[in-house]
Copies of this chain bind each other. A is one copy, B any other.
Amino acid sequence: MNKIITIGREFGSGGRELGKRLSDHLGIAYYDKEIIDEIAKRTKLAEGYVRGIVEQQSGVFFPITVGRTFHSTGSDYILKQYTSVYAEQANVLREMAEKSDCIIVGRCGDYILKDHNPIRLFVYADMDAKFKRCREKADEHEHLSDSELIKMIRKVDKNRAKYYRYYTGQEWGDRANYDMCINTSTVPVKELAEALAHLFG
């Protein structure tokens, strides 16, 4: 069975950086944008729209947050799109996991790939650290005021938790669902990746 590492992560906690660094250390595949591209291709939906659904970052919010107005706004169609995106996401992840050792960030990977016995990491951080990390990516968030940025971080995580709970029936970030939960406020991601590569290599 291939070695699969899944990384759940709070927004701005450095989960993606950890995934990339681990992938470099271990010399195994890292899937991120490729997943979105592949789902978009299969569902024939626009890449940006798929990203909005899967990453819960854009203006496209998960249907259960607008559930009450669902049946009066033609939203059956939207629900079908969400379901279809989730189904294709599951297919894509399983195919990737069968192809080779790999690291998968987000996307309910720990749950979808449970038959592959993945190493399940969850990365989180204090708000101060997440805020700082987001500010450092100036190009993405520079139009937001400090309070808007904090609000966005909270909202993205809230939506990720909802999305995860809806599709897995589990609590996002609950330690019982992971092999290791790591607070990057205090542990530098670079050194963390080295230590984890040592442990899981």
Which residues in A have some Cβ–Cβ distance to B below 8 Å? 119, 122, 124, 126, 173, 175-176, 178-183, 185-187, 191-192, 194-196, 198-199
Name 23 A/B residue pairs within 8 A (Cβ), A-sorted. A119-B186, A122-B175, A124-B175, A173-B175, A175-B175, A175-B181, A178-B183, A179-B182, A179-B183, A179-B185, A179-B186, A179-B187, A180-B180, A180-B181, A180-B183, A180-B187, A181-B181, A194-B199, A195-B195, A195-B196, A195-B198, A195-B199, A198-B198
> Complex: how many Å from CA A85 to CA B195?
38
Measured CA separation A57–B146 after assembly (Å): 48
Please report the C-alpha to C-alpha distance between residue A55 and residue B124 in the assembled complex, in whole angstroms. Answer: 29
Nearest opposing residue in chain B for A195, CB measure: B199
Contacts of A175 in B (CB 8 A): 122, 124, 173, 175, 181, 183
Q: Which residues of B contact A182 (CB under 8 A)?
A: 179-181
Known contacts: A175-B173, A180-B180. The answer to whether A194 contacts B198 by CB under 8 A is yes
Within the complex, what minimum Cβ distance (angstroms) separates A5 from chain B?
A: 12
Question: In the complex, which of the residues A179, A191, A196 has the most CB atoms of chain B within 10 Å of its own CB atom?
Answer: A179
Contacts of A178 in B (CB 8 A): 181, 183
